Chain A
Amino acid sequence: MTHPMVRAEGVHKSFGTVEVLKGIDLQVNSGEVFCLIGPSGSGKSTFLRCINHLEKINAGRLYVDGELVGYRQKGDKLYELKDSEVALKRRDIGMVFQRFNLFPHMTAIENVMEAPVQVKGASKAEARERATRLLDRVGLADKAGNYPAQLSGGQQQRVAIARALAMDPKLMLFDEPTSALDPELVGDVLDVMRDLAESGMTMVVVTHEMGFAREVGDSLVFMDGGVVVESGNPREVLTDPQHERTKAFLSKVL
């Protein structure tokens, strides 16, 4: 279980002159639920987006499953990967967005079928059967024919999770998956994530749900100002924070 799925070494990221990540070092082990918490603007979402190369890092090294993200190393020279090579690697990394980002012109089941058919070349029948099972798994078998606009936020987010799972990822990234939801809909989404965690999926979760982090998380990192301030077992960090900034943050959100 100690095989590292994600390894970051001194990761830096700037947008123009604003440095958002100022040297992140961390390791996510295979099968682990890894929670990232911190105030807004702390860089946690940016770091998550670096993992599947939606953002390019400026310095440091980032590895997923032992392979460098976005580059190929030959000797001591780095070569940028071609778009097609980046796309190939992204197949193995599922991502769930804060704003769902379902494809509005497709029904729920078409959303889930899209990537297996278009990217992996699966047959439609095969993809439909698998999509039906995945929608059933997230409790939405009866909504397969609905368009996203006909679903509640919580339902849309569960379809988005099923869509990411359809590619059989070895790593799932969650970018504040419950932040855009009405409070009474948060529970359904967290249930699906809990279920996924129990099945052994490696998950990196940016979240404000401290209850979820404490209950399901295996590791937790508190970020602030683009650096990792404190990390460890979520139950320990959340109940007995060692650092002043962690204490200040937790006193506001708990």
Chain B
Amino acid sequence: MTVDVSKTDGPGATPPAGPEAIKAIPVRHPGRYVSAIIALGLLGAVVYAFAQGNINWGAVPDYFFDDRILHGVGNTLLLTVLSMLIGIVGGIVLAVMRLSKNPVTSSIAWFYIWFFRGTPVLVQLFVWFNLGLVFEYINLGPIYKDYWSSFMTPLLTALLGLGLNEAAYMAEICRAGLLSVDEGQTEAAHALGMSHTKTLGRIVIPQAMRVIVPPTGNEVINMLKTTSLVSAVQFYDLFKEAQDIGQNAGSTVEMYFLAAAWYLIMTSILSVGQYYVERYYARGSTRSLPPTPLQRFRAAVLPARRPKGVTA
């Protein structure tokens, strides 16, 4: 079971001289051509339909870098990051609570997750926004006292609505991650005299991350898109700004296209980041790390170049 480091099987390697290679007529797949033509035809029809539509395409580039749009993009990103932070921290706390041996904390965590996963996030947002109807003041004793309406700003409403809801989902992801780590790991750490906290922090969580990170990446991308809901509680995110411009400038649909393009750009960038984070936490679980796209690109474009000291 040794790993041969010097093994290369790039395009530079010459095949060994052996018996004559088989030359046979490959099996034909006419069905593939038919399905390709049908798919292309349908795609063409969709493109044609939009080209025929009464769309003022010029409005999209005109407003693409408009100050209001950029402000909205900034707010969307800010809201995504802060809500995810609330979600991740809350999720870890809830996961540890659910796995704890204390029946009170684990029941409370169960109830929280049951409630927040079981109700739509849009409904939760409206509840936070309108709590001023039942509480006139917010009173935290000597620390803070104010009217509810001036305390619950659109940003805070959005953060609470999205963050607390996300915590319920993150809790389940974290719990699955913690449970995925073999019990032998905890035993080995304990046998070395490590405390519960050290065992969790140094041994269990780093291994759980491999299971936690991929779905968390999906959650971030989902969150970025879900933030568009907060336009309903008067928070000026990308979608709300685009909507406002569209209504004032009379280019409603064009501004929706513009918003969609911005969301696509942002989610694409996040996907690339996710790949690298996953690669980092995969170390040790596979014998060799998969190449990064950059490394793959180099290998494809510059096949002749090899690291020094490695011979073919």
Contacts and interface: CB of A to CB of B under 8 A. Distances in A.
B191 A104 contact: no
A167 B192 contact: yes
Given A104-B285, A105-B284, A97 B188 contact: yes
Interface residues of A, number: 34
A119 B192 contact: yes
A151 B187 CA distance: 21
A165 to B, nearest CB: 11
Contact of A114 (B192, B283, B284): B192
Contacts of A152: 1-2
A118 B285 contact: no
Contacts of A84: 195
A149 B284 contact: yes
In this complex, the member of B188, B192, B286 whose beta carbon has the largest number of chain A beta carbons within 10 angstroms is: B192
Interface in A140-179: 147-153, 163-164, 167
A163 B285 CA distance: 20
Interface in A72-105: 83-84, 87-91, 93-95, 97, 99, 101-105
A54 B286 CA distance: 30
A26 interface: no
Interface string A193-229: 0000000000000000000000000000000000000
Nearest to A103: B203
A118 B187 contact: no
Interface string B166-195: 000000000000000010110111111111
B190 A90 contact: yes
Contact of A119 (B193, B206, B207): B193
A160 to B, nearest CB: 8
B286 A149 contact: yes
A106 interface: yes
A105 B287 CA distance: 11
Interface residues of B, number: 26
Contacts of A83: 195-196
A207 B185 CA distance: 22
B188 A149 contact: no
- Between A83, A118, A152, the greatest number of chain B beta carbons within 10 A of the residue's beta carbon is seen for A118
B202 interface: yes
Interface in B1-26: 1-3
Contact of B3 (A89, A103, A150, A167): A150
Given A105-B284, A147-B283, A54 B187 contact: yes
Given A103-B203, A118-B202, A119-B198, A148 B284 contact: yes
Nearest to A173: B191
B203 A115 contact: no
Interface in B213-243: none
Nearest to B202: A118
Given A105-B284, A114-B192, 10 more contacts: A87-B194, A90-B192, A101-B187, A104-B285, A106-B284, A149-B287, A150-B3, A151-B1, A153-B1, A167-B193
30 contacts: A54-B190, A54-B191, A87-B190, A87-B193, A87-B194, A87-B195, A90-B191, A90-B192, A90-B193, A91-B193, A93-B191, A95-B191, A97-B188, A101-B182, A101-B184, A101-B187, A103-B188, A103-B203, A105-B207, A105-B283, A105-B284, A105-B285, A115-B193, A119-B193, A148-B284, A149-B285, A149-B287, A152-B1, A152-B2, A164-B191
Q: Which 7 pairs show the lowest CB-CB distances between chains A and B? A: A91-B193, A101-B188, A115-B192, A95-B191, A101-B184, A105-B284, A152-B1
